[in-house]
Amino acid sequence: MLTHAHRLGPDRPAHREIGGAANRIPTEIAIKISKYLSVKDLAHGAVAWRALASASQDTASFIRAECARFSLRILGSWTARTDLLPGMRDRIAQYNHAWSTLQYTFGQSFVIPQTAYDTPWAGSFEWRSGTQFMGESGGWTYNAHSRVQNEVFKARVSLYENPSLRTGEMGFKNVQIDVSLYSGYVKAVAVDSVARYVGVLEYSDQDAGGGYASIPILHVFHLDNGNRLISARLRFYGFPVGAEVYHMEIHGQMVCVAANYDSFGQGTRSDVIVQNWTGAGG
């Protein structure tokens, strides 16, 4: 015999009701709301609102959120057919598994023009910059080649984006950037593939008030067309002469430059600059 507390009937639901007014909103409304949310807001909302989480799995919004989660790129304006969504969800899951376990789908080899087997690689052991070196930044491989032409310092930075299922770029994309230098050679290259910036760093040895110093000068270009945006002098007193840049990153309007230098018999020391390049002096 069931007591009133245990009896199931019209006055008592079989399952506990989900608390919160938002969770009682119909799924159809949640679907319409999801179309107006950014990927970031959609991801946050799905955590707190169950209707939005379940609704987004049946819409293109879910694919947008999953692409953002795994750094996949959606090219241009995009809408997905509902009958294709299950297959797309499976492909994203397969990609995530392959990336986390290093089980790649395919491999290809490419030849970077005007390089050799002994071209120095930036950041490698006992790395020293020179007239030419290679490196990788922001998913792009680059070749920096400096030269003097008619007593004018110039450099060409060739950037290559490898084919990738993650980005949707199946061709070997190439961008050429020509740089007019103040003096010397290119010291470092950095790519922000999200903000679409390329940073090219050189030194200019100048009198900094207490003796000569290597003043870092940053040239920033647009990744898509190679147009120069700014040439900025970073930090007035610079690095000690002979300092070697071993790492540089550019993220939006911020740049970080790390350099090593010999401290006159006291071993190798490091110095780091973190600065907003848009406010640096020209």
pLDDT per position as a tens digit, 104-140: 766 777 788 888 888 999 887 677 788 999 999 988 9
Q: What's the pLDDT tens digit per position in 192-210?
A: 988 899 999 998 877 666 6
CA 202 to CA 189: how far, in whole Å?
9
65: Cβ contacts below 8 Å, ≥ 6 apart: 39, 42, 43, 46, 56
**What is the reported pLDDT for 68?**
63
Confidence of residue 2 (pLDDT cuts 50, 70, 90): very low
Q: pLDDT averaged over the chain?
A: 76
Q: What's the pLDDT tens digit per position in 67-97?
A: 666 656 655 555 555 556 667 777 777 777 7
The answer on pLDDT for 41 being more than 70 is yes
- Please check whether residue 222 is in contact with residue 197, taking contact to mean a CB–CB distance below 8 angstroms: yes
**Region 6-33: what's the mean pLDDT?**
57
Q: Specify the pairing of strand 152-161 against strand 228-233.
A: unpaired
Q: How far is CA 270 from CA 120, 153, 276, in A?
A: 21, 28, 20
CA 183 to CA 196: how far, in whole Å?
26
CA 134 to CA 156: how far, in whole Å?
12
Q: Which of 8-17, 127-136, 137-146, 262-271 has the lowest mean pLDDT?
A: 8-17
CA 150 to CA 129: how far, in whole Å?
22
**What is the reported pLDDT for 15?**
45
**What is the reported pLDDT for 45?**
73
Confidence of residue 168 (pLDDT cuts 50, 70, 90): low
Ordered by where they begin, the domains of the chain are 22-101 (no CATH), 132-279 (2.40.128)
